[in-house]
Structure 1
Amino acid sequence: MQNLFLAPSIMVGLGLFFGIILAIAYRFLRVEEDPRIEKVEEMLPGTNCGACGEPGCHSFAEKLAQNAQQPSGCTVASPDAIEMIADFLDVDPGKQEKRVARLHCAGGKAQAHQFAEYRGFENCHAAAQVSGGGKGCSWGCLGLADCEQACTFDAIQMNKNALPVVDIDKCTACADCVAACPRDLFEIVPLSHKLFVQCSIPLEGEAARVLCATACDACERCVLDAAPGLIRMENNLPLIDYIAGGSAKPEATFRCPTGAIQWLEGAQFEEKSQTRTDDPYARFL
């Protein structure tokens, strides 16, 4: 009978002992948190999207209190909220440059060659495991809306051509779509960077064009037409270097035979944001 109660008594005793140890440790070893952190966190949107580069709003609030970040680092907060945080902490709010998600592919249903019909789970990750979803291009957009479903802010809608249209007003550069795309086609870029390459095929000439009507064929005309140093070819694709090169201008897109490089005035894949005509200047009228 004594053995029946011995084991539970030992467990209860050990629990009390370690509980007392933890209570003492918390009492004497705890680190007091800056009371401003809680106040700042309340001023933040609370989306915990990670667009600021921190794992969540609390972590970002800690960095703000330590003056290791600027309030403008939160791309979700409104300008008024940023000013309010800056006033509360008595710091410079910083400059907030609008950034958006752009897709390095324009190969929708009407452009990309389809060699098979995909029937299965309606998501890009599943299709990528089954011969790339039936598209001839194994680098392009699969068009099954993983990015749309992953977007916390409802900023992505698939168009009739099975390409994602990112609402530049709603987009907060949280990078959920970057993580969701199995082809790594999304990139977060400043909205001011209007020159953009909408292709990821590392092939050249006819080998690229046979896969997609809007594929870059590595002709290098854009390199010649752009400011010196702005564009260079890498893996048969134009790489735009806004830091090393000169100012970007739409002239770099005029002689592109397929429209793989575009001058984007708004959202991608909207009719007014990218138009190709025989007259290169007509799209800006």
Structure 2
Amino acid sequence: MEHGVLQHSLMVVAVLTGLGILFGLILAFANKKMAIEINPLIHVVEDVLPKGQCGACGYAGCMNYAEAVVNNPDVPPNLCTPGKEPVAKLVAELTGKAAAAIEPRIAQVKCAGTHAKAVKANEYDGIQDCMAANLLFGGPKSCKYGCLGLGTCVKACPFGAMTMSEDGLPIIDPEKCTGCAKCETVCPKKVIAMMPIGAHVRVNCNSHDKGAVAKKACSAACIGCTLCVKECPHGAIKMDSNLAVVDAKVCMEKCDNPACLAKCPTKAIRQAVLGIVPGTENIVA
């Protein structure tokens, strides 16, 4: 009886082993038959990319962009913003494409609403994340356009180019910022934007409230007075729903003495000094 059971067990094991080997051979054959050969140039291109996986190129990571730029003749070689001009030239040489010039850019924080300047509407004691805070009455600040100061952008930066100041605002490190715009995409208030490196002035405000409301919520707010617009002889400043907006390209090309700075009553528009807390830039009296 025991001998029969043992014999039966060995037969089952042998059958299962045989089936395993058979399926293994089938899968190996199918894998070889259906394998897609990867162009080795894709890996070469990927190696020259900065590996930030920031998505600034519009693709889900460096490998995806490498595949696209190698395989698709319509994908330009200069989409890697963090890599700047050197990487664009290398990718262009490797793929045999022409690379247009890349304008160097850097992140800016369009808010000077520090703890001392911005009025609180409530106390927030939840998850230390800007998106989470924004879901609760738009955050703790009276100004519903301002930086929430919980550092979601800092955590998202793939290059370690951002830190939170004691004043509750992010500081951009100009030496590390690549202009990839990852921080811009995660900010629920759209406080962060890219500006050209070399910009003369910037508006440290994001509020579209009318003057009296904006000033009550934050002493550093743009109040939409239009004095800067009238003072600029080059038409580089426009008003967008109570907020001054500077055309950095026009300003850089035509202006070497920004008179608008002296006219701003709240000093919301300031010299574009990098690497400091917004609102602490030099003020022209």
Task: Mark yes or no: TM-score above 0.5.
Answer: yes
SS in 1 for 2:217: coil
Name stretches of at least 5 consecutive residues in structure 1 with no aligned partner.
1-11, 279-285
Aligned: 1:126 with 2:152:
no
Contact kept, 8 Å, 2:204 with 2:268, in 1: the verdict is yes
Contact kept, 8 Å, 1:107 with 1:140, in 2: the verdict is yes
Aligned residue number for residue 40 of structure 1: 45
Q: Which has the larger radius of gyration?
A: 2
Aligned: 1:276 with 2:276:
no
CA distance in 2, matches of 1:214, 1:77: 35
Which one of the candidate residues 132, 143, 159 is aligned to 1:137?
A: 143
Cα distance, 1:222 vs structure 2: 0.9
Moved more, 107-116 or 71-80: 71-80
CA distance in 1, matches of 2:265, 2:224: 10
Aligned residue number for residue 264 of structure 2: 256
Which aligned pairs between 1:170-249 and structure 2 lie closer than 5 A? 170-242=176-248, 247=253, 249=255
Going from structure 1 to structure 2, the CA distance change for 1:60 and 1:106 (only over 3 Å counts) comes to same
TM-score normalised according to structure 2 size: 0.78
RMSD: 3.3
Contact kept, 8 Å, 1:118 with 1:133, in 2: the verdict is yes
Q: Given residue 99 of structure 1, which amino acid in structure 2 is its aligned partner?
A: R
Going from structure 1 to structure 2, the CA distance change for 1:129 and 1:70 (only over 3 Å counts) comes to closer
Number of equivalenced pairs? 265
CA distance in 2, matches of 1:138, 1:159: 20
Contact kept, 8 Å, 2:196 with 2:248, in 1: the verdict is no
Aligned residue number for residue 53 of structure 1: 58
Contact kept, 8 Å, 1:204 with 1:218, in 2: the verdict is yes
Aligned residue number for residue 118 of structure 2: 112
CA distance in 1, matches of 2:240, 2:172: 27
Cα distance, 1:259 vs structure 2: 1.4
SS in 1 for 2:163: strand
Aligned residue number for residue 281 of structure 1: none
CA distance in 1, matches of 2:90, 2:130: 41
TM-score normalised according to structure 1 size: 0.78
CA distance in 2, matches of 1:59, 1:131: 38
Cα distance, 1:92 vs structure 2: 4.1
Aligned residue number for residue 4 of structure 2: none
